[in-house]
Amino acid sequence: MTAPHPPPIKLSALRDIGWKEWDPIGILPPGEIWDHQPFADEYDRYLLAVAGGFRRGMSLEDATQYLLRAARQQMGLSPHPLQIEQAAATARSIQRYMAELDGRSPVSA
């Protein structure tokens, strides 16, 4: 007997989190929403990687570090004090979303 497939991840839910909590390059104008913007998919690969990572047992710290590396290495941003806070908040929110989606409690580390 095969294991049941996990529920599909809603990209719109991840985008809600990413645009609200992260937006490291600051392209969403204040007061705007992402859903009708031509750049709505800008962070999809990073958000999906974190969501998938949590499904495979990634820790919150590893998810935070992944988002920091993405901002600094792939996007070429210089370190600044808010990056850690924003990456951690984003990782926590994705972890919570995935736990709710998969019907389990979030693990903090």
Gap between the Cα atoms of 106 and 63, Å rounded: 13
Residue 27: pLDDT band (50, 70, 90) is: very high
Mean pLDDT of the chain: 93
Residue 41 lies in a domain: yes
Residue 54 lies in a domain: yes
Structural domain count, the chain: 1
Residue 86 lies in a domain: yes
Residue 2 lies in a domain: no
Query: What is the helix (H) or strand (E) element at residue 86, kind and residue range?
Result: helix 81-102
Gap between the Cα atoms of 63 and 94, Å rounded: 9
Asked if residue 109 has pLDDT above 50, the reply is no
Termini Cα distance of the chain = 32
Predicted confidence (pLDDT) per residue in 48-94, tens digit: 999 999 999 999 999 999 999 999 999 999 988 899 999 999 999 99
Supply 54's token pair: 């949590």
Residue 29 lies in a domain: no
| Domain housing 70 | 11-24+37-102
